[in-house]
Amino acid sequence: MLTQKSIKLSDYVEYPYLIPRIDLNFDIRTDCVVVQSRMIIKPKHKESTKLILNGSQIELLSISINARELKSEEYLVTDKCLIIKSPPGAEFELKIRSQIDPFRNTSLEGLYISSGMLTTQCEAEGFRRICYHPDRPDVLSKYTVRLEADSSLYPILLSNGNKKYSGKLKNNIHRHQVIWEDPFPKPSYLFALVAGKLNLVSDKYITNTGRLIDVHIYVESGDEKYTKHAINSLKKAMKWDEDTYGLEYDLDEYKIVAVRHFNMGAMENKGLNIFNSKLVLADSKTATDDELERIESVIAHEYFHNWTGNRITCRDWFQLSLKEGLTVFRDQSFTSDLHSTGLKRIEDVSFLRNFQFAEDKGPTSHAVKPKEYVAIDNFYTTTIYEKGAELIRMLELLIGREMFFRGIDIYIKTFDGTAATTEDFINSLIKGAYIEESNCPFDVSKFLNWYYKSGTPKVYVNQSWDSKNSILNVSFKQKIESDQTSENIEMIIPILYSCYSREKGAIPILEENLFVLDKNNKNLKIKLPFEKKAPVLSIFRRFSSPVLWESDLSIDDYLFLFLNDNDYFSRWDSGQFLMREMIKNRLFNKANSSLEDKFIFAIKQSMKSLEIKDPFFLATLLENPGFAELESLFEKVDPINIYRKSLDFKVLIGKGILQEFRTLAYKLFVNIDHEWPEGKGQRKLLGTIWSYLTLAGDNNVKKNCVESINHPSMTISKAALGALKPLDSVETNEASNLFYNLWNDNAVVLDSWFAYEASRPNKQGIDVIEKLLSHPKFDWKAPNAIRAVLGGFSKNIELFHSLDGQGYLFFAEKLIDLDKINPITASRMVKIFSKWKTYVDENKEGMYKSILKINRANISPNTREVVELILK
């Protein structure tokens, strides 16, 4: 039971005032910032009602309405808001002059200092730390912003929109001013301001209609050389959005600022994106192939928000997935189109299964459209983002690509410049495809259950073969385990399927088809060309629905699909199933040597066909299931045993394919390319093979890994580190020291060293983590550094999960300290304890004591909400 008051969707009431225009003036001084806001306010109703403006940690200096100074009895100031008791019943001008102190703000919300630079983070409710305002997404205004500061301390002054004026102050030549104007209405969470010593890297983009857009990236001195990839990524995204969705950028300039101290990955503020520096500053020497693709994707994501999030925003925070789920879907599609659809799908599914499915199963499980929350910051989750994207993907599959884009067009034309709801979006898609909902072939209300219900549906699949008529009968049963209801919930579950002949092999005997499971139980009859034996069924191809499933496919069926399925996801998924089975058998001391031998043979066969044709896919097939997936296989989780048995399994595979791996690794190593994206498949495969060979005890490979730390490709360097990581060896220490010496002056790269040191096995135990936290290069105010050390420590399985409980207690103590300066990061990291009830008794007891320790501390509302859910 939550002890804090929650905000409920059912209580939503529209704000009683329109604020069509806001003029903001920022006077940046050495010890404070004086903010003056001028708002044009229009009552929506004739009846006068109190005007409530949210505000926190603001010192009110003056307030006036229509140029008349208000008396103290006409308004009320609390620690959370400003209330004007009897505002005018007609349109009026409200001026508020106030003062804030960003120099002592460690929360990384509102206006704060980062490496001498003033910057903002207003989503979700940070604007109320800057000035008094409703600070809710359904209040949209056009903003004009004037910034004034000492030109030597803050030579760069940025805000949203287009620059209208800049120059020195007439009465003080040491100070300058810049005026920015955003012509499009936006909610306050999209406001942004940056002031500081920054260097500019410029480029240009020409739209399909011939408009010239200035591309500006602002970075700290010395980082200019790391911006080329970001600029290229942005221009690719702008081009893709025009070509795919017909959406052109609408301002004269597009600005990105790289910030070291930032809670999120990036923020889509209109025309002024603020990025975590690790997602901007990169090239193939400082970032891996995966990191470069991630940067490309995130830059695209924030750009795509210009239309799906900015021009059309969400009515309230319960609709958060309206903008985030849709935009994740768009950035996933962008990456698929630029690189590989099949491989991107596998990447996304693997992430979903290891993070979102685990979230769905735990105490912080919530619906894509939740009904209530205490702190909205706690709902920036994989459910909102990645599961939300899966729902959009299902809609595209159900209504067809052409109709989907027609619906998107209707949505944008209908709701441009407004704050919309999830239902507005769904209705637009249905209207685009079918004109009326009554014409829709599936029940829209059942599809909306995906938004309203928490939990991961599970589908049970059983087959029977009618050899006489060559018909495969397939029965499907759906079930969702949800804490929200005990009733049978029917979902719309699209299932892509195909069939293979056991005799004919890799060529499917049935084209890919779509079956829609829209009832708790439903049957499918598949008429096939004459077959003597039952065909092999390939289901949920392309991961057509975000569900778990259990089928009566045999081990031999999975081996067949692993070797023959032409769908990348289904082939990979078959291998993942087999690996999970083999590791699970070993955990129960029931190793199936026959299956293991067959799997090793299947890998050798795959190597012959894929090492040249698609090395990246081969590497993907060789990757073990994620740790969270393995944990989900057991009612009582023994994390240390799972970790050890999964390593034993890798040793088995490495030794079983030792010579083939050695030969291939040598060929790859001597012919490796350095520049992304060329050669990324070969680099990925080399790193994967190294990870097997080091565990198999190959001393030559260990030596190669140490020598590769200073390789010109960061992908190779980190692959070498990763291959040595499970070994508490001389080579591991040597490689780690070499990496540190190479990169100790680059904070972005050094975070990966902190994560490596925190997560690798060591004999010194928690002392190593303490030393990292007190390291002169560690920055407690930088979320990246915190996540590197504490997040890395949580992945150090044997240390974090030590049976004496000391790992848990240490982590709890550090979270309590962190919560005092950065509640958002603390509340997200405390979710590591979410699965405490699923562990074996020794771990469960230790985790419980640590959670209670946090709960008894004086913690923030953000962290309190999560802890109470975990303990529930």
Alpha carbon separation from 29 to 117, 154, 415, 489, 559 (Å, rounded): 13, 10, 40, 58, 68
d(CA 839, CA 436): 50
Amino acid (one-letter) located at 432: G
Q: Is 207 helix (H, G, I), strand (E, B) or coil?
A: coil
Asked if 865 contacts 872 with a C-beta cutoff of 8 angstroms, the reply is: no
d(CA 9, CA 317): 9
d(CA 335, CA 338): 5
Amino acid (one-letter) located at 33: V
Task: Determine how many CB atoms are found less than 10 A away from the CB of residue 705.
Answer: 29
Cα angle: 642, vertex 647, 651; to 5 degrees: 145
Q: Which pair of tokens denotes residue 443?
A: 């029940």
Asked if 827 contacts 793 with a C-beta cutoff of 8 angstroms, the reply is: no
Name the catalytic one among 302, 390, 611, 757.
302
The question of whether 390 is a catalytic residue gets the answer no
Would you give the DSSP letter of residue 637?
B
Sign of CA dihedral 345, 347, 350, 351: negative
Give the list of residues 6+ apart from residue 770 with CB closer than 8 angstroms, or none.
Answer: none
Alpha carbon separation from 813 to 12, 108, 354, 770, 818 (Å, rounded): 38, 21, 26, 12, 9
Give the list of residues 6+ apart from residue 180 with CB closer than 8 angstroms, or none.
Answer: 143, 144, 145, 146, 147, 158, 159, 160, 161, 162, 163, 164
Residue (of 777, 774, 775, 733) closest to 756 by Cα position: 733
Which strand (E) or helix (H) includes residue 800? helix 797-800
Asked if 392 contacts 370 with a C-beta cutoff of 8 angstroms, the reply is: no
Q: Is residue 687 classed exposed, middle or buried when 0-12, 13-18 and 19+ CB atoms within 10 A define those classes?
A: buried
Residue (of 590, 532, 581) closest to 559 by Cα position: 581
Indicate which residues carry an active-site annotation. 302
